[in-house]
Structure 1
Amino acid sequence: ESDLAALYPPPPPYYKFFTAENIDKAKIWLKENEDSYNDDNDETNYPKEEFRFLIPPKKPTGPHYRCFGNIWPFDDKIPTLKEQNIPQLYQDITSSQHGQDPTQVELEKLTKSLLVVFLEIIGIISINPNVYQENLERLRIILINIHHLLNEYRPHQSRDTLKLLLEKQIDIKNREIMKIDNDCKVVKDKIFKIVE
């Protein structure tokens, strides 16, 4: 039994503050001090110790927040390759080229480049295994560009997936309606036969 108890650490000591009475008092305190609590970042404006864990923390100010030791932006956007100091190997995607999806065209170009660089690396390694680092870096940059292009395409993919899912649900509902209509027709025919 002691082994089982060692697997699960005891709850943090502040769980004792979560009583019905303290929760009600904390709500009252928050209503009375809401303006001053939200405006200041001053520690003196915090609630009493027993309410401190019951009131949600203030929203962080600024464009970033810290979570688990990392700094994250509030705006959930993909950083550009230029912001990451990585050369962008594909053209900016603005409009369709000859009726094709521009993302697909650029991905095909990058994939072909990836294959060429990979074959160059294999050729270099077969001749002189010590001189392949430059092409390996080119391979890494191409892979990062492909990955970035795919990540930019994710919203389109999710929209299309949702569209397919909704179309499938509509199709299922239409089949159910047709089945119910057919069953109703069979029942009506049986009723007419019984009545006659």
Structure 2
Amino acid sequence: MAQPAPEDEDVLTSYFPNPPPFYKHFTPKNLAALAQFQSAQDTAPDTPLTTAQLLQLPTELRYLVPPAPPSPSAEYSVFGKKTTVNALDDYPEAMQAIRTRLQTHPVTGEVVLDWSYEQLYPSTTSWSSLDRQAYLFRFLRSIVLSYVELLGVMAQDPTSAAKDEKLKDVLTLALNMHALVNEYRPHQARETLIREMERQVERKKGEVEGVRRMGERVREVLAGFERGGGEGRVEVDGVGTEVGDEERRTQRQREMWGVMDEVLGH
């Protein structure tokens, strides 16, 4: 029988883990105290503190100092799969693997397509300095045009060398689009998280509204008990009716069980 996973692993790989307990230290008072300490040490807010300076801070202020960024070889979990920071920059290696597979046929060993990847958009370190949407539209139109030209070449001479050139163009354009789309992944993750948090907020609001309605229902029933509390009378559909003690007790029990069913969701 397989052993269950340790609880700490479940916390690390859960879809939305609980916030760390030290989030309570992120208060305006502590932030002001940290800024005052950095000013006294002649340290800029974006300059990391030294080990000696960190040891001078109270425990609750040390949590406010961001840790050093992870090393490129550090591992982290994505949907239960281990990966590294370097894995985000291995696109050239992936293109080289595609080139290697195209160069050798798995059966005959012949060269299938002598192709190499070429980046058709400028490299940039700033997200806003490159209009990725415009490049995606350009590549898409170029792919459609190259495909139409490829059909024309295939119709005239399927063995023509121009066919391979058009295939190379289509492959290069498609992989450039793939690379640009991959750069939207952080934004996709952020928007997905925002939508999930919005759904959680709406669900919590619905639960609060349900509790409020149930509270009103309970108060109405209790008020009905109070109005029908006279001797020999019971409240039935808002109208006081003369009944015996046994009938009055039975009616109140029915109402109590009805309210309990509503509260418990039966």
- For residues 144-171 of structure 1, the C-alpha deviation after alignment (integer angstroms, 9 at most, x for no partner) is 1111112222111111111111111111
Q: Are 2:169 and 1:158 aligned?
A: no
Cα distance in structure 2, aligned partners of 1:73 and 1:181 = 48
Cα distance, 1:156–1:63 mapped onto 2, change above 3 Å:
closer
TM-score, structure 1 as length reference: 0.54
Corresponding position of 2:142 = 113
Shift in alpha-carbon separation, 1:73–1:185, aligned structure 2, 3 A: closer
Which residue of the other structure, out of 138, 153, 160, is the alignment partner of 1:124?
153
Structure with larger Rg: 2
- Matched residues in 1 for 2:193 and 2:84: separation? 27
Structure 1 alignment gaps of length 5 or more: 1-61, 66-71
Please give the residue correspondences for 1:26-105 in structure 2 after superposition, counting only pairs within 5 Å: 75-79=86-90, 86-92=117-123, 94-95=127-128, 102-105=131-134
Higher relative contact order (CA 8 A, sep 6+): 1
- Closer, same or farther in 2 for the Cα pair 1:190/1:113, shift >3 Å? same
Alignment of 1:1-40 (within 5 A): none
What is the count of residue pairs matched by the alignment? Answer: 125
| CA RMSD after TM alignment | 3.2
User: 1:137 offset after TM fit, Å?
Assistant: 0.5
Corresponding residue for residue 188 of structure 1: 219
Identity %: 26
Gaps of 5+ in 2: 1-70, 75-82, 97-115, 228-266
**Shift, 1:123, TM fit:** 1.3
Which residue of the partner structure matches residue 144 of structure 1?
175
Q: CA, structure 1 residues 189+63, in 2 after alignment: closer, same or farther (shift >3 Å)?
A: closer
Deviation at 1:129, TM superposition (A): 1.3
Counterpart-to-counterpart distance in 2, 1:77 and 1:96: 20
